[in-house]
Amino acid sequence: MYNYPPKVSEKNIWKTLLKLNSDPIAIISQNFQELGETYTLLSFLVKKRFVFSRDPELFDYVLRKNQKNYEKSAIQTHVLGKYLGKGLLTNTGKNWLKQRRLVQ
C-alpha cells in the first residue's frame, strides 16, 4: 500500500476540474492552502492520479536524487516531442540528464 499525499475530496472534484480550465492558479493555490504542500487529484476521466506540489525537497528527490525511478508519459515524450523537439521537457534517460546538467 502506498502512502499518497492528501487528495482533493470527491465532493470538490467537479469544482476543481471545472476551475482548472478557467482559473488554474486560483484552484491550485486554494487546494495547497486546504491540503498542504503536496496533494493528489484522482481523475476518473483518464484514470490517473495527478500530484501537485510546491515542496522543494520533493522536487529535489524526484528530479535529482531519485530521477531514475520516474518515467515521462508517452504523451510527453512522443506527442509533445514531435512539436517541441528533444529538450528537457520531452527527453529521457542519459540525454535528459546531459541536458539538465547543461542548464544547471
40 assigned to some structural domain: yes
pTM above 0.75, yes or no: no
* Alpha-carbon radius of gyration of the chain: 16
In-domain check, residue 17: yes
CB atoms within 10 A of CB 38: 16
Q: Is residue 2 part of a domain?
A: yes
* Residues pairing with 40 in the sheet: 7, 51
Q: 88 lies in a domain?
A: no
Q: What domain range is 32 assigned to?
A: 1-54
Residue 33 covered by a domain: yes
How many domains is the chain partitioned into structurally?
A: 1
Tell me: the pLDDT tens digits for 3-18? 889 998 877 777 787 8
Retrieve residue 3's grid coordinates: 502512502
In degrees and rounded to multiples of 5, residue 35 shows phi and psi of: -110, -15
The three-state secondary structure class of 6 is: coil
Residue range 49-89, pLDDT digits in tens: 889 999 999 999 988 888 778 888 887 888 888 888 888 88
Distance CA 59, CA 65 (A): 9
Taking the alpha carbons at both ends of the chain, their separation in whole angstroms is 36
| 24 inside domain | yes
